[in-house]
A and B are shown apart, each in its own frame.
Chain A
Amino acid sequence: MGQTIAEKILSRHNLAQAPLKAGDFIGARIDGAMCHYQFMDIHRLAVEAGFEEGFPRVWDTGRVYLLVDHHQPALAQSYADENVLIRKEARRLGIEHFHDAEPGIAHQMMPDYGYVRPGELVVGNDSHTIAYGALNAGSTGITRADMLYVLLFGELWFQVPKSIRIVLEGRQPGYPIAKDIILYLAGRYGDDFAQNMALEFTGSLVPQLSMDSRMCLSTHGVEVAAKLAMFPFDEKTRAYVEARTDKPYEPVAADPDAAYAKEIVVNVDEMPFVVAKPHQFGNVGPVDEVKGVEVDQAQIGSCSNGRFEDIEIAARMLKGRKVAKGVRFIISPSSQQVYLQCLKAGLIESLVESGAHVVTPGCGVCQPKVGYLSDGEVCITATTRNFKGRKGSLKAEIYLGGPLTVTAAAVAGRIVNPKEVFDGL
């Protein structure tokens, strides 16, 4: 019996060096460990466990990526104070890849800097670490306690996941649809249909998908509870990776006779624009079902949708139009590199001319930090989550949609089918 991508990648990293199948419990060798702004929480766990001075070492100073992301520059005194401690620890431990003076989201900066390569096993103490599956890497979020173990030994326990094949068929339209695809899947199959499993994306749409769209889909793997969310390696992956790193790598592919727990086919040509209604990712319906709901705030950003194509579609659609009066349309690129790319393409100028706010790259728009909502306010957002209280008030309502749907709502001042606002879609 052949192996899935997940079985193969974990076999390759199995400390016991034996081939694996779904269900096996293993100790795995880790290629890269991403830590972010909560590094001191891991340090404190180490102190509590008896390492009085903190970590006595990290297993490999070149394989730990410490990106003090989320809130740069510091959005509160507590972050400023914590950042000073992190800097001290990073120096003491000799961590080679350390970024703490740069705004952005780690899940964009990791690929930006070429820190993730196809075929690697990369972990991070953040749930959206699953994002790098877009680059054909086995990547997943782990806990702070897990990270403590990884930092010391470069190893971690895993259960080899079963896999689901997501077959995406159809044509890529002239605007991004990755968000609609994942929302559609969560709505149709539940927000935990991939619990503890691996997603493998395949089908005729996949070669047409940009790296930005692939990263959106992989990032959102965790919103359907997956452990891994992987794309096959192709020319697009090669171009993306080799523009950023010259380290060698070895892509991974499934065997033709691999066994899957399930296969789900989506024909995107027939897929409507969808939104997740408050307060769960799986509470999904066609956008027409909620059209007319007035919005106070619209947002594009986060590790799911702060990439070039998300911002480009907003700028393209806003050109010659204005954001509706009274609506706060907030856009946050996911990293400095993405920001620069948008600036050079002239997107930022046209967004600002149309009345959008462009804010510093980072996690602010995804959390309450930038753009709190008050009681009764409504927000439509291309970010990751719409849990109650995610943007402040427990009495605010958050809808999730793709960047096009969000832009349409920003222009109309209410949720609307993008086809009603923009011609020629």
Chain B
Amino acid sequence: MGFDLNRAIRGRVWKFGDSVDTDSINPFYLYHTMEELKKHTLESFRPEFPKEVKPGDIIVAGRNFGCGSHRPGLVLREVGVAAIVVESASRLFLRNTIALPMPIFIAPGISQLVDDGETLELDYQAGVARNTATGAAVAIPKFPPMIEQIYACGGLPRLARQRYLAETRTGG
């Protein structure tokens, strides 16, 4: 399942603070199946989140989102989160989310831009994140071509598959 970075995203905002950890996003020590994880993701920060999150919603968070273990945020995509926009992301969570692929944008100033429940519009091509109610915006930086290619291929595993096929076809 690919993701077109150039398609604008509009969604309701769920706000989180700093250093939201992957134990909370993906509490797999306690819940072993995706169905269970979906019922408990992020509950240690906001108990209502797993109950009320709707497909198309956007997560906005502070610094160091996804810190802790290397566990992926696949469960967030599974509950329908359309994008994650943060002041800064933990390096492994960022790599994981790009590899899925799922849109994740590092946009300093984002936590000041929107309140919980407001609507955010993300336009990667134009490089802006905009609060639709106030019109205020912050910049979304461009990814290097290497990362845009991962999005275009539908994630890192698919990119790997393409490369493998290309190399084995040419006998290389």
Give the interface residue-count category, chain A. Answer: 35 or more
The yes or no answer to B27 lying at the interface (CB within 8 A) is yes
Indicate if the CB atoms of B19 and A192 lie closer than 8 Å. Answer: yes
List residues 34-85 of chain B with CB under 8 A from any CB of chain A. Answer: 43-44, 63-64, 67-70, 72
List residues 272-295 of chain A with CB under 8 A from any CB of chain B. Answer: 279-282
Nearest Cβ on chain B to A351's Cβ, whole angstroms: 26
Q: Mark A127-160, 1 if CB is under 8 A from B, else 0.
A: 1000000000000011111101100110001000
* Known contacts A48-B157, A368-B30, A389-B44, A142 near B100 by CB under 8 Å: no
* Known contacts A46-B157, A49-B160, A50-B161, A385 near B29 by CB under 8 Å: no
Kindly report which residue of chain A lies nearest to residue B69, judged by CB atoms.
Answer: A127
A368–B100 alpha-carbon span in the complex (Å)? 28
A343–B158 alpha-carbon span in the complex (Å)? 49
Return chain B residues, CB-CB under 8 Å to A8: none
Chain A facing B: main interface SS: loop
Indicate if the CB atoms of B164 and A146 lie closer than 8 Å. Answer: no
Indicate if the CB atoms of A142 and B70 lie closer than 8 Å. Answer: yes
Kindly report which residue of chain B lies nearest to residue A280, judged by CB atoms.
Answer: B19
Nearest Cβ on chain A to B164's Cβ, whole angstroms: 6
Give the interface residue-count category, chain B. Answer: 35 or more
Kindly report which residue of chain A lies nearest to residue B159, judged by CB atoms.
Answer: A149
Q: Mark A147-175, 1 if CB is under 8 A from B, else 0.
A: 01100110001000000000000000000
Indicate if the CB atoms of A145 and B99 lie closer than 8 Å. Answer: yes
Indicate if the CB atoms of B68 and A387 lie closer than 8 Å. Answer: yes
A192–B68 alpha-carbon span in the complex (Å)? 11
Return chain B residues, CB-CB under 8 Å to A45: 157
State which of B8-16, B86-94, B127-135 sits at the interface with chain A.
B86-94
* Known contacts A25-B144, A390-B23, A191 near B64 by CB under 8 Å: yes
The one of B72, B91, B96, B144 in contact with A225, judged by C-beta atoms closer than 8 angstroms, is: B91
The number of residue pairs between A and B whose CB atoms lie closer than 8 Å in the complex comes to 114
A279–B18 alpha-carbon span in the complex (Å)? 12
A148–B19 alpha-carbon span in the complex (Å)? 27
Kindly report which residue of chain A lies nearest to residue B144, judged by CB atoms.
Answer: A25
A374–B23 alpha-carbon span in the complex (Å)? 18
Return chain A residues, CB-CB under 8 Å to B44: 279, 387-389, 394
A279–B19 alpha-carbon span in the complex (Å)? 10
A188–B73 alpha-carbon span in the complex (Å)? 29
Nearest Cβ on chain A to B147's Cβ, whole angstroms: 8
The one of A143, A152, A281, A385 in contact with B70, judged by C-beta atoms closer than 8 angstroms, is: A143
The one of B67, B99, B160, B161 in contact with A192, judged by C-beta atoms closer than 8 angstroms, is: B67
* Known contacts A369-B29, A385-B68, A394-B44, A153 near B163 by CB under 8 Å: yes
Return chain A residues, CB-CB under 8 Å to B95: 142-143, 145-146
Give the most central of B43, B160, B163: most A CB within 10 Å. Answer: B160
The yes or no answer to A367 lying at the interface (CB within 8 A) is yes
Indicate if the CB atoms of B88 and A192 lie closer than 8 Å. Answer: yes
Return chain A residues, CB-CB under 8 Å to B161: 49-51
Indicate if the CB atoms of A145 and B157 lie closer than 8 Å. Answer: yes
Kindly report which residue of chain B lies nearest to residue A48, judged by CB atoms.
Answer: B157
The yes or no answer to A195 lying at the interface (CB within 8 A) is yes
Nearest Cβ on chain B to A276's Cβ, whole angstroms: 12
Indicate if the CB atoms of B72 and A143 lie closer than 8 Å. Answer: yes
The yes or no answer to A392 lying at the interface (CB within 8 A) is yes
Indicate if the CB atoms of B157 and A148 lie closer than 8 Å. Answer: yes
The one of A25, A127, A142, A148 in contact with B160, judged by C-beta atoms closer than 8 angstroms, is: A148
Nearest Cβ on chain B to A29's Cβ, whole angstroms: 15
The yes or no answer to A125 lying at the interface (CB within 8 A) is yes
The yes or no answer to A346 lying at the interface (CB within 8 A) is no
Return chain A residues, CB-CB under 8 Å to B70: 125-127, 141-144
Indicate if the CB atoms of A149 and B160 lie closer than 8 Å. Answer: yes
* Known contacts A25-B146, A145-B96, A146-B156, A195 near B72 by CB under 8 Å: no
Indicate if the CB atoms of A143 and B92 lie closer than 8 Å. Answer: yes
Nearest Cβ on chain B to A336's Cβ, whole angstroms: 24
Return chain A residues, CB-CB under 8 Å to B63: 190, 192, 195
19 chain-A/chain-B pairs, Cβ below 8 angstroms: A45-B157, A56-B164, A126-B70, A127-B92, A144-B96, A145-B156, A145-B157, A149-B157, A152-B160, A153-B163, A191-B67, A195-B90, A196-B91, A280-B19, A282-B19, A385-B21, A387-B23, A387-B44, A392-B30
**Given A143-B96, A388-B44, 12 further pairs, Cβ under 8 A:** A25-B146, A49-B160, A143-B70, A143-B99, A144-B72, A145-B100, A146-B95, A152-B164, A153-B160, A191-B67, A368-B30, A389-B24
